[in-house]
């Protein structure tokens, strides 16, 4: 157990809808990173938030956006959902910036 929690555990949406996924970081951690893992592939980095600011972004379109709150919890928002957005979404927290990252259990999103 890492102390990183994510909600919901599973979600079903339809194409064109919007979704918000939530992550609570491990106690004492001020950084949250989000990853997308398609079936059969390794996780792909989406972006990182450090002290409420975006601190790096992977190759994902702007319809993937995020927020980090003063308590260091975080949200991942995806607009205009596409079928290819179906994946396991993982968040990872770290003590500061790019220190060792500890992952939550993930949210499995299915887009129909």
CA pair distance 27, 4, nearest whole angstrom: 8
| Strands laid side by side in the 19-24 sheet | 5-7, 19-24, 74-78, 64-68
Q: State the minimum distance, in angstroms, from the CB of residue 98 to another protein.
A: 5
Q: State the minimum distance, in angstroms, from the CB of residue 77 to another protein.
A: 19
Q: State the minimum distance, in angstroms, from the CB of residue 104 to another protein.
A: 5
Q: State the minimum distance, in angstroms, from the CB of residue 107 to another protein.
A: 10
Q: Is 66 a residue that touches another protein (CB under 8 A)?
A: no
- Output b/e per residue, 73-112; b: 16+ Cβ within 10 A: bbbbebeebeeebbbbbbbbbbeeeeeebbebebbbbebe
Q: Is 106 a residue that touches another protein (CB under 8 A)?
A: yes
- Residue 30 CB neighbour total at 10 angstroms: 18
Q: Which one among 38, 52, 63, 98 touches another protein, defined by CB under 8 A?
A: 98
Nearer to another protein, 42 or 62 (CB): 42
Near another protein in 30-49, by CB under 8 A: 33, 35, 42-45, 48
């Amino acid at each position: 157990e890492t102390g990183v929690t994510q909600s919901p555990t599973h979600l079903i949406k339809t194409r064109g809808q919007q979704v918000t996924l939530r992550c609570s970081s491990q106690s004492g951690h001020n950084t949250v990173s989000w990853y997308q893992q398609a079936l059969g592939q390794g996780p792909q980095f989406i972006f990182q938030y450090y002290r409420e600011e975006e601190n790096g972004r992977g190759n994902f379109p702007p319809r993937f956006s995020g927020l980090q709150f003063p308590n260091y919890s975080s949200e991942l928002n995806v607009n205009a959902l596409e079928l290819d957005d179906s994946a396991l979404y993982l968040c990872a927290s770290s003590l500061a910036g790019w220190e060792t990252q500890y992952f939550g259990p993930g949210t499995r999103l299915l887009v129909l």
